[in-house]
Amino acid sequence: MICVTIGRGRHSSLTEEWEAAAKAGTDLVELRIDCLRRDPDLKRILKQRPTPMVFTIRRGVDGGLWRDHEEKRLQLLREAIALGVDYVDLEQDIAGKIRRFGKTKRIVSYHNLKTTPVDIQDIAEKSDELDPDIVKLATSASTLADASRVLHLGVTGKFPTIPIAMGEIGVFTRILGAKFGAPFTYAGFNPERVFAVGMLQFPVVKKDYFYNQIDSKTEIYGVIGHPIEQSLSPAVHNAAFRHLGLNKVMVPFLVPGGDLETFFHELLWLDIKGCSVTIPHKEAIVSFLQQMEGAVERTGSCNTVVFDGDGRRIGHNTDYRAAMESLEAAMGGGGGGEAGDDSEVSSPLIDKQVLILGAGGVARSIAFGLMRRGAHLTVTNRHDERATGLAEEIGCRMVTWSQRATSI
């Protein structure tokens, strides 16, 4: 289930956006009452409920906009429960002050906007003692280890738990919580109103990640890189998985340069089946492989890692294969052998003059493929030293960036 968060300054705007969210097919709506600029009229707001709802009044210290007296906030929460809201969000420090009443379900929440505490497990267990129906834990994550520890709370929790590692590095926790029993995840509805760093928009969660189809048997795949926000891999792969009827999901893992070992160590428990690899890791990841195909050995670059049943990491280079097959098809067909194998090939690229702009992982893969097919290759890059290094490694010509327009 996906819970859309809505917060507006006016009562009329709040109810209008709630109705729009209902028409868009949302399962559940969180109303952020703290965003209202006037005293909330609960009877007016709750008169017509187009969807089930979570009633929330978030304080400033927890990332909200409530600036009035705390006792007034507590009274509004009690009134909402008396009016029969579906869910009420109660921060950990006030949950003991507000009794259970009627059919309203209690979300006992903990927010930390600065860090992920070392004792987050103890904090989660404290929530278990406060009569929750659901436990929500949202902390700011600065490392993969932080995000991993938060997500794991969904496995160890006594009650259904919504684990959220805030920030771009924790985006995957917002999706994978479903695999570990989270009753729902939070998503934005209006792109102009972002309520938490890393919160995804409703259409993305629903259509790019197929969140409502994720269950305990869903296999996990990832794309790793830095930056990673721009990657289309999750949307493309997840659409393909659903089209083929496969219970799999791909999520983004923000892995800073030099953190590959941390990634493999901290997220081992997720049983990830495979990863796409992008900047800046295509070359660095080769040293973490236990097995690799010929194209990886030749190019020193890997863009796909498959984890076999024994936990071995097997590297592939589909950049190489895709580029060669596409170029040869465009020029009238390829020659002898699959683009990724080690056999000699006869190719329409033989004796062709080719200029490559760039010297990164993809450029390396294409350069090796072109040289192997007998092309006359020239490489250039904005940074001369990178182009020089690649040219010396594969034995081709290099020109400076300023010479690129007249080099062939």
Beta strand pairing status for 248-254 and 219-225?
Answer: parallel
Distance CA(381)–CA(14), nearest Å, equals 52
User: What φ, ψ does residue 229 adopt, rounded to 5°?
Assistant: -60, -35
Q: Which residues contact 61 (CB under 8 A, 6 or more apart)?
A: 113
Which one of 34, 62, 89, 111 is the catalytic residue? 111
Spatial contact of 175 and 204, defined as CB atoms under 8 Å apart: no
Q: Which of 343, 313, 346, 310 is nearest to 328 (CA)?
A: 346
Contact, 189 vs 21, CB < 8 A? yes
C-alpha dihedral, 81 to 84 to 85 to 90, nearest 10°? 20
51-90 as b/e: b if 16+ CB within 10 A: bebbbbbbbeebbbbbeeeeeebeebbeebbeeebebbbb
Active site residue 152: no
282 is catalytic: yes
* Helix 318-330 × helix 361-372 angle, to 10°: 50
| Nearest by Cα to 348 from 368, 362, 367, 329 | 329
Distance between CA 28 and CA 55 in Å, rounded? 11
Tell me how far apart the alpha carbons of residues 351 and 371 are, in angstroms, rounded to a whole number. Answer: 10
- Collapsed DSSP state (helix, strand, coil) of residue 345: coil
Active site residue 69: no
Chain-centre distance for alpha carbon 150 = 15
CA dist., res. 6 & res. 336, Å (int): 59
Catalytic residue status for 352: no
Active-site option among 248, 281, 282, 316: 282
Which residue in 62, 136, 146, 237 is the catalytic one? 136
Which residues have a catalytic role annotated?
111, 136, 282, 319
